[in-house]
Structure formats: structure tokens, C-alpha cells
Structure 1
Amino acid sequence: MTCHALRTLVLAALLPLAACARQPEQTPVERTQTNEQGCTRQRSVGPQDAYADPAPLKQACVGPYLLALPQNYFDNQIGTEHDGSFALALEYPSLQPFKPGERKSFNKDVFARTLSINYSYVDRIDVRQSLRNAYTPMAFERDDPAASLKLRLQGQEVHGLVPYYADMERIRAYLRARGLADDAPGMQDRSHRDWYVARDRTGDIQTIVKCTSRGVTESGVRFSEGRMIRSEESELPDCDHFFILPEYRIRVRVTYVRAALKDWHRIEQRAGELLVGSISKK
């Protein structure tokens, strides 16, 4: 066999191996994402720098509304998650965003002063009903004293809110009758919430805040040089605050430490104005 013929034979044998070694073509990364309500946002592609200052604008969708916010307003400080979901995070008591990258060095003090905001677009039921669902018991819960306003202990107004405290004596009797042991976690004050409500002029509930039971007396926080920090106490009571923006069909949930309850109205205003002010005018 000649050298030329041998070379041809070797090349022919290597060609299939070379083909196998080729990398498959990558699917192009989608630069936009559109949700069910037709809102299209620009996606962040490639590595993101949470420490960028000034923070770049990132887009997010809430129902049909396109928002544009500096990325340090987002809980992860880089924008939405890959599926478009997101939460915003503000620092209490300033109600301003954390500094770029500050939440990446996560610690107990940052956790304690984080105020988390979630917006939900309500399109399958009436938006007011979505708020009523937060304080109306399901059929199987009607006898549960932890699930109903009427089975709670109404108290005197606190910070402009009417409290409906968890009736722990009634709750424990209810759970005991269903076989729960006295030392079970569900029997403890920390497992239950006090409800605080604000009503509109017609008497309908427009705000409901559910906080760790008053039976947990520790606050879990203290202030140092004007900043809230975690205390040495073991408990960290918190609150879930619900209200709606009916003209936008949006339900808002804000989570924060119970020590911030006194500022519920300021928090509610800030959460609402932040959404409305961030809607892109296109």
C-alpha cells in the first residue's frame, strides 16, 4: 500500500470520531419572557453582579403590568428568578432598599430587618374575595378557633388596628379534643397568630395583619445606632400583612418582624406606592 493510500485510509477512519467529538448546538437563550396576561419582560442573561453600583434596572411582571426597578430592590438583589417570580426586600425601619450586594453577606441582623413584599395578580376571582379568603375559614375549619374572627378575643385598638387575639385556652381545648398532646408544638403560643384588622367606611376589612401570638413576649430585636439588629432572645415574632390594590387587581403580602407592626400603615403605603411607581409607561 502506498503512503498516499495509507493516509487516506487513516483519515477515513478518524472522520466518524471527529464527528462524535463535535459539541451539539446550544439552543439560543430566550432574551424575553411573556406571562399569561401578555406582559413581556427582558430577561437578565449571563452572570449577574449583585454588587454593581449604581444598580442596573431590571424588569419584572405582575399580571399585565411591566415593572422596572433597580436590581438591589429585589430579594436576591439581581432581579427575578428564572421563571419570572420575585419578591422585593426593603430594610426596616427606613423602608429603603438594601445597598447593592448587602443581602449577599446574609446574617441574622439583615434577616431581622428585612421587610419582604410579594405582589399577586388576581384574575380568577374577585380581588376583594382574595382578601376575604385571608380571614374566612374553610368549611372544615368553621369550628377551629384559630381560623375564625368570631372565635377570637377582640381587644382594644392597637396602632389603629383592631386586634382579634388567639384564644389560647379555647384553641388548646379544641386541639386536645382531637387528640393532640399538651406538649405538642401546636399547643404552644408560638404556633398561633393574633389578627389585627383595619376596616373601610363601610365596615369591610381592608387590611389584615397576622402576627405571632402575644403570648410570645420577646421581640427578638433591638436598636443600635438607629438600626434594627437581632437580639439575644430566642424568639423572633413576625407578621404577615395582607391588603389589596383593587384598581390593579393585585393582592399584596408583606412580611416583617412583629416589632414593626406599629408602622403597618407606613409599610402599606410604601408597598403600594412602590408597585404603582415602578409600572413602566412604555
Structure 2
Amino acid sequence: MSVMSSGRCLTVALAVALSASACAKVPPTEKGEKEAAMSEDSSQSRTIDGYTYTTAPVVAKLGPHRYAFPANLYDDQIGPSIGGGVALTLMWPGLKAAPPGTRPTRTMADHYRAVTASIDYLDAISASDLLPRQTSTEATTEGGSVNRNDPRRRLDLRVPVAEQFGLTPYAIDEQRMALFSKAYEKQFGQPATRNPRMEDEWYIARAADGQLATFIKCDQPEGGQEGLVIKGDLLVPDDAPKVASCTHYFVDSKDNLAVSLFYPRVLLKDWKAMEDATRATLARYKVQ
């Protein structure tokens, strides 16, 4: 049995989509699409190419739980994914759903503002075990393997540095990295492959009891530029060649759910608001 449901494929697809949009930087239009917050009018609808998009509730199943999310809250503005995964999209800065029928015609400016949440029911492990597994190598390497001691992939081998946005960044320990590289070369006969520019930044938030509550991995800025800058309610491309992005992990322990958020790195400052909005959405639309 897998750690997550088949919705894992959805997570990969969303990450690829975000990466693709990162490379396709275009200036926002004056219209900016600035998709408004979701209307509470359940009769609101829009027909495009013969399909009518609405705000009517569509039931999603996550393990034994049921949620009646408005159709336009789903990433495709239709409903849950085939195979059981659920993807929702909240539009920054209001962190509400876009009006129905705007997904097919969304501009790049609004793709930048779309915060996507991939939600899976954990059918093999407890939610409390997920973040420790994601920040270690025990579940992905064999005992005795030199790769188990890779400082890039273990939180306990990284070094905490000054807090940012209420998060603690954990940097790669270069002394440990040097020791790992020597051990790797001794075991495999060649140096460990490394591209420091491509190594993720790690950010951690902990619960009051010290347990991991949030784990965020982000691309590094290039030359201090993140690919986008905030101008009012818009995200505008800067001179960087690509958009740096973040993947943000947390869990719903009560319902044993794993949540992954995808958004541009320039929005990292709003990580708590995005996490809180996602939790509130799950609580609001849960029916069983």
C-alpha cells in the first residue's frame, strides 16, 4: 500500500505545470484578469465551449472523509481528479476561488497568482509521521548506504539560521557536505554530483511541542531576483530568467491528510496565510 493515494500523480503534474509557467514569463496585461473572489451565489455560472462552469458543490472523497467544495474551487473548476486526488486553487492575495469559467482563459498574470493545493488521504502512515519522513533519508535509502548521510536531504544534518517570516531556514552544512563527499567517493569511486545553485532552500515551522508543523522547499533566487515582484495585487516579472517556486508541506492530523501547496517564492512571506486559508477551506466544506 502506498504512503499516499493515487493523487500523488496529481502532485507531480502540478509541480511540472508550475515549472512550465515559471519558464514562460510574460508581462501581466492591463486587464490582469485579476480574478475576483468566489461568489457565494450558488447559481453563478459561465458557459465556455459548450461546458457550463458553476459554483455548485461537487463532492470529493478523501479516504473516509467527504467534502463538498464549490466546483470553481477545484483547480480545473470542474471537480476532483480521477484516482482520488484533490487539487484546489486559491487566488492570491485574497486566497479565494476564482469565478467559474475563468480557468480556461486565465492569463499568465493570474497563473502567477494561483496557489494550488494538492490534498491526499494518507492510507499507509499516520499524518504525524509524514514530515519527519520527508525531512530524512531513512525511508528512501538502505541502511549502511552512504546516501543515508547526505546533508542536503536530512534536516538533522542541516544548520538553522536566522528566522525569516516566522520560519526557520536550515542551510546545508558545508563541513558535513565535505565529509559526505569523501565517503561517497570512497564507496562509489567518483565524487558526488553537486550543483549548489540547484539545491533547495529549506524552511521549517514547529508546533508548540517542538514537532514539525510545516516544511517548505524553495528554489534559490538568481542574483537576488525571484522571477517576480509584488506590485499591488499583481505579480510582475523581473529580470531573472525563471520564476523561483516553493513547495509547502503540512498535514491535517485529525483527518490524516497530506497537503502540498505550490506557489512562487515571492509569496513565501504569506506562507502562514496560505496554510491557514487551506485549513479553513477544508474545515468549511467538510460534510463527513
With the length of structure 1 as denominator, give the TM-score of the two structures.
0.72
Match of residue 31 from structure 2: none
> By how many angstroms is 1:218 displaced?
1.5
1:256 and 2:270 matched? no
The answer on whether the counterparts of 2:170 and 2:203 sit within 8 Å (CA) in structure 1 is yes
Q: After superposition, give the CA deviation of every residue in 1:53-111 in whole Å (9 maximum; x if it has no partner).
A: 65222221111111112211111111123334331111122211123222212443233
Change (3 A) 1:232 1:83: same
Pick from 202, 211, 228 the counterpart of residue 195 of structure 1.
202
Match of residue 151 from structure 1: 157
- Paired residues for 1:105-120 under 5 Å: 105-120=105-120
Change (3 A) 1:193 1:167: farther
| Residue identity matched to 2:263 | Y
**Separation (CA, whole Å) in 1 of partners of 2:239 and 2:273:** 28
Unmatched runs of 5 consecutive residues or more in structure 1: 1-34, 37-47
Change (3 A) 1:192 1:68: same
Structure number with bigger Rg? 1
Match of residue 78 from structure 2: 78
| Residue identity matched to 2:71 | Q
1:135 and 2:135 matched? yes
SS in 2 for 1:112: helix
SS in 2 for 1:150: helix
The answer on whether the counterparts of 1:165 and 1:193 sit within 8 Å (CA) in structure 2 is no
Give % identity.
26
**Separation (CA, whole Å) in 1 of partners of 2:99 and 2:191:** 46
1:265 and 2:272 matched? yes
Pick from 142, 161, 169 the counterpart of residue 163 of structure 1.
169
| Residue identity matched to 2:123 | D
Match of residue 41 from structure 2: none
**Separation (CA, whole Å) in 2 of partners of 1:180 and 1:278:** 51
Q: After superposition, give the CA deviation of every residue in 1:171-220 in whole Å (9 maximum; x if it has no partner).
A: 58856965469xx8x5141x221111111222111111111135662111
Pick from 255, 259, 281 the counterpart of residue 274 of structure 1.
281
Q: After superposition, give the CA deviation of every residue in 1:96-148 in whole Å (9 maximum; x if it has no partner).
A: 11232222124432332121101121232222112211111234432212101
Change (3 A) 1:180 1:101: farther
Most deviating of 162-171 and 81-90: 162-171
SS in 2 for 1:111: helix
Match of residue 62 from structure 2: 62
Most deviating of 234-243 and 51-60: 51-60
Pick from 232, 237, 240 the counterpart of residue 233 of structure 1.
240
Most deviating of 168-177 and 191-200: 168-177
Change (3 A) 1:226 1:236: same
**Separation (CA, whole Å) in 2 of partners of 1:219 and 1:172:** 29
Residues paired across the two proteins, number: 232
| Residue identity matched to 2:58 | K
With the length of structure 2 as denominator, give the TM-score of the two structures.
0.70
SS in 2 for 1:128: helix
SS in 2 for 1:75: coil
The answer on whether the counterparts of 2:229 and 2:238 sit within 8 Å (CA) in structure 1 is yes
Q: Which has the higher contact order (CA 8 A, sep 6+)?
A: 2
> By how many angstroms is 1:233 displaced?
2.4
The answer on whether the counterparts of 1:73 and 1:88 sit within 8 Å (CA) in structure 2 is yes
SS in 1 for 2:100: coil
> By how many angstroms is 1:161 displaced?
1.0
